[in-house]
Amino acid sequence: MNTKFNDFQTSALGFTKSPLGIIALFIVLIYGFATLAATFGDNFKDSIVLLVYFLILFPVIVFVGFLWLVSKHHDKIYGPSDFKNEDNFFKMRMSSVASLAVASAKQFEKTQKYGDIQEQLDSIIETVSKTSSNKEQNSTNEWNNRILWVDDRPENNVYERHAFEAQGLSFSLALSTKEALEILKNNKYAVIISDMKRKESDKEGYILLDEIRKMKNEIPFFIYTNSNSPTHKELAKEKGAQGSTNNAQELFEMVMRTINRL
């Protein structure tokens, strides 16, 4: 009996390391107390019908609450212990933060608008914390972890790609619209990221987007370009893109939110 209690205690401690585990432990305890009350509680005999209704309705309520958590807060239901190696959980986040910080610093140099460095870093950390991938736990399709990045100068986006790779994602690179369309004939991706201006034309990002949509392919499409004006953002969405930005942090957030929903 003592051995069984110790086993339960060990299992319970394991459950407390993540939000989902706490919910599961709570359900077990509720049913345990309800069973004890129904078995040994003489005062409950007159209220046995209410107890039965509770035992029937409680799992329904829990199930509805679980659906709400998954749909609205899926990025918060895992704890560090859900990863095979907890150190990897923190390394993953810090690597993404570092890469985004370098990418953002590169953009500040172009615009000469440095702002508050600490505030920017805090914002990046918050973004990575909110959108970190859970693919290590729940990925079943390899293409869910792959991104097609179309840019004739991929060396300009090295740190941005590092931020995504730290989340367990991988890339295929295409230097032109033609090359991207050839790749898409035989491969499936979670997301496409494209620049706008290439050797072919100044609006090549829109041309690629149009060709993809003509193929009845609704893959999420993001434009990473020099402009961040509201007009260009709105135009990109009108043409069928999911977003457009010149900001590495905003790109990371948009893409990760999309991938985490797949």
**Residue 19 near residue 82, CB atoms below 8 Å:** no
DSSP alpha helices (H): ranges in 41-150? 48-72, 86-111, 117-131, 135-138
- CA neighbor of 211 nearest in space, from 182, 191, 188: 182
- The CA–CA distances, whole Å, from 228 to 105, 128, 236, 245 equal 17, 21, 11, 5
* Structure tokens, 206: 């829109």
Q: Which pLDDT score, from 0 to 100, does residue 142 have?
A: 80
* Structure tokens, 196: 């706008």
d(CA 161, CA 136): 18
Dihedral (C-alpha) 122, 224, 70, 86: value to the nearest 10 degrees? -50
Measured in degrees and rounded to the nearest 5, phi and psi for residue 78 equal -110, 145
CA of residue 162 relative to chain centroid, distance: 16
Task: Return the sign of the alpha-carbon dihedral for residues 188, 222, 99, 176.
Answer: positive
Number of other residues whose CB lies within 10 A of the CB of residue 8: 12
| Domain assignments of the chain as residue spans, ordered by start | 2-72, 84-260
pLDDT tens series, the chain, 262 aa: 445 445 544 554 554 555 666 666 667 777 676 666 666 666 655 666 776 777 777 777 776 776 666 555 544 555 555 555 555 555 556 667 667 776 766 655 544 444 455 566 566 666 666 666 554 444 457 888 899 999 999 999 988 898 888 888 999 999 999 999 999 999 999 999 999 999 999 999 999 999 999 999 999 999 999 888 999 999 999 999 999 999 888 999 899 999 988 5
- CA neighbor of 132 nearest in space, from 86, 78, 71: 78
Q: Which pLDDT score, from 0 to 100, does residue 130 have?
A: 66
Tokens 């790609």 identify what position? 161
Assigned superfamily of 84-260: Response regulator (3.40.50.2300)
Q: Which pLDDT score, from 0 to 100, does residue 57 have?
A: 78
CB burial readout 188-208, b (16+ within 10 A) else e: ebbbbbbbbebeeeeebbbeb
Number of other residues whose CB lies within 10 A of the CB of residue 128: 25
d(CA 51, CA 169): 49
Pairing of strands 191-194, 221-224: parallel
